[in-house]
Amino acid sequence: MNTVKPPLSDDLARVLIDEDSISKRVSELADEINAKYRNIEEPLILVGVLKGSFIFMADLVRRLTIPHVVDFIAISSYGKKGTERGEVRLLMDTRENLAGHHVLIVEDILDSGSTLSYLIRTFGARGTKSVETAVFLDKPARHVIPVDIQFRGFEIPDVWVVGYGLDYKERHRTLPYIAEMIPEK
């Protein structure tokens, strides 16, 4: 194993969550999910919100022991800046028919709550058996719309974070840790 770590990029302030902490927490979340859904009859459908959730999803599903299917959606949201409510629209829907299944939405980060509240409502109207959420990061200071989160990785302060799927203008998405950006002047 190569243990020499490249230096932190100069637009990043600090590492907020390191690789080992991420790995340990994702294992704990997978244990909780395995326990909660151990008796389901149909496979659990995990729906990842692109692009930010793809690394969290990949790490999570490789630790699941229950029957499951992986799917993704893409959304766009408007009105994030300057308005209280972001308007969310589906750009790419699931390939799976969700009816009759337990669904777990897999999201990178909970901010205002508009994305998840929209998705919970939309999937709940499709004849699903249940719709729950696994969120890697949560920024409680930013919540506007209350959302029920069943599986939560870490609470973080109100700073812009990148890595582990999260980006700033597509930068830093594939860093193996979560880092805090230095705000642009």
Chain contacts with Mg ion (rule: CB under 5 A): 52
* Sign of torsion over alpha carbons 19, 23, 24, 29: positive
| Closest distance of CB 181 from ligand XMP, Å | 8
Residue 39 CA to residue 73 CA, distance in Å, equals 26
Q: Out of 111, 138, 148, 158, pick the active-site residue.
A: 111
| Closest distance of CB 76 from ligand XMP, Å | 10
CA distances from 15 to 3, 44, 159, 172, 179 (A): 17, 33, 12, 12, 4
* Alpha helices by DSSP H, 1-52: 19-36
Residue 131 CA to residue 98 CA, distance in Å, equals 10
Whose Cβ is closer to ligand XMP: residue 37's or residue 73's? 73
Neighbours of 82 (CB within 10 A): 5
Task: Please indicate whether residue 108 is annotated as part of the active site.
Answer: no
Q: Which does 86 bind (CB under 5 to 8 A by kind): ligand XMP, Mg ion, none?
A: ligand XMP
Q: Which does 115 bind (CB under 5 to 8 A by kind): Mg ion, ligand XMP, none?
A: ligand XMP
Q: Which does 114 bind (CB under 5 to 8 A by kind): ligand XMP, Mg ion, none?
A: ligand XMP
| Closest distance of CB 61 from ligand XMP, Å | 19
List of residues contacting ligand XMP (CB under 6 A): 49, 52, 77, 86, 107-115, 160-162, 166-167
| Cβ proximity of 104 and 134 under 8 Å | yes
Active-site positions read: 111
